[in-house]
Amino acid sequence: RRSLKAIYRATHPCSWKPHRHGMEMNATAEVSAQEEVLNLKPCEHQAGGHFASGKEAATFVDNSGKFYKVFQDDTRGGREACIYELIFSDSGEGADNDDLRKLRQFVPKYFGTVVTGDRKLLALEDTCSAYKKPCVLDAKMGLTTIYEWADDKYKAKNKGKDATTTQSSLGFRVTGFKVWQQARGEYRTADRHYGKQLTAESMGAALATFGSNGALTPRDVY
């Protein structure tokens, strides 16, 4: 079996070519739309990232069950779109199709990219839309968050983050969560600063906190 990294690098119709701003993707499913037509609103269930830190909204939802993420303007945005196109393609040249089918059950459905005004968005399935009080945990996966094409400044910064958090010891770190507290009728939240303080020893208790909302029955949750 090929590793996910091998699948990620596989040749695919979502091709790349040099561009003065880095890399440019030949998108296979991109449409232009007015934001008013899409009826976008900030995603209230985002647990990590810029919006959760009080900055400008980076994720949105509409009324049709879709989730929109702002397309990063460097190579990461194009690569992220490319891996979704690869996973949901009928045939990924250079990748194991059986692996691709198995990956689909763990990722939201992909609907391509959308351009609204000066913003480009990834359009995905809103996996929270089916729940009344969804509980969400955001985590960075992997033993390192350093990608090989990053500049030296970025690598040095993330090397320090990896070493001082559970990234390098457990292979992930919590960057935020929201869990509904049934008895209090409100969400309990944790941000990235909380996640950075967790250790291998305290992670179990943190996950137990996220897994407990005080609900007596599934009906109280859904």
- Both 53 and 160 in one domain: the answer is no
Q: pLDDT: is 169 or 15 the higher one?
A: 169
What CATH number corresponds to the domain at position 146? 3.30.470.160
Task: Specify which residues 22 forms β-bridges with.
Answer: 19
Q: What is the pLDDT confidence band of residue 203, given thresholds at 50, 70 and 90?
A: very high
**Which of the two residues, 59 and 6, has the higher pLDDT score?**
59
Which position has the higher pLDDT, 14 or 150? 150
- Per-residue pLDDT at 204 exceeds 90: yes
Domain tally, the chain: 2
User: In the predicted model, what is the mean pLDDT of residues 60-85?
Assistant: 89
Q: Is residue 8 part of a domain?
A: yes
In this predicted structure, which of 63-77, 119-133, 141-155, 161-175 has the lowest mean pLDDT? 63-77
Task: Identify the pLDDT of residue 94.
Answer: 60
Same domain, 84 and 111: yes
How much of the chain, in percent, has pLDDT values that exceed 90? 52
Q: 94-146 pLDDT, tens per residue?
A: 667 888 888 899 999 999 999 888 889 999 999 999 999 999 999 999 999 99
Q: Is residue 213 part of a domain?
A: yes
Domain assignment of residue 68, yes or no: yes
**Domain stop point among 76, 93, 125:** 125
Same domain, residue pair 81 and 166: no
Sign, CA torsion 105/111/112/113: negative
pLDDT (tens digit, 9 = 90+) per residue, 2-49? Answer: 444 444 344 344 544 433 333 334 444 566 555 556 789 999 999 987
If asked whether residues 64 and 116 sit together in one domain, one would say yes
Pairing of strands 30-32, 59-61: unpaired
pLDDT on residue 183: 86
In this structure, are residues 60 and 41 in contact, taking their beta carbons and an 8 Å threshold? yes
Range of the domain at 114: 4-125
34 or 204: which leads in pLDDT: 204
In whole numbers, what is the pLDDT of the chain averaged over residues? 80
- Write out the DSSP string of the chain: ---HHHHHTS--SS-EEEETTEEEE--SSEEE--HHHHT-EE-TT--SSTGGGTSS--EEE-TTSEEEEEPPSSHHHHHHHHHHHHHTSS--TTS-HHHHHHHHTTS--EEEEEEETTEEEEEEE-TTTT-SS--EEEEEESS----TTS-HHHHHHHHHHHHHSTHHHHSEEEEEEEEEETTTTEEEEE-HHHHHH--TTTHHHHHHHHH----SSHHHH-
Residue 117, domain member (yes or no): yes
Query: What's this model's pTM, rounded to 2 decimal places?
Result: 0.74
> What confidence score (pLDDT) does residue 76 get?
82
Q: Is 173 found in the same domain as 75?
A: no
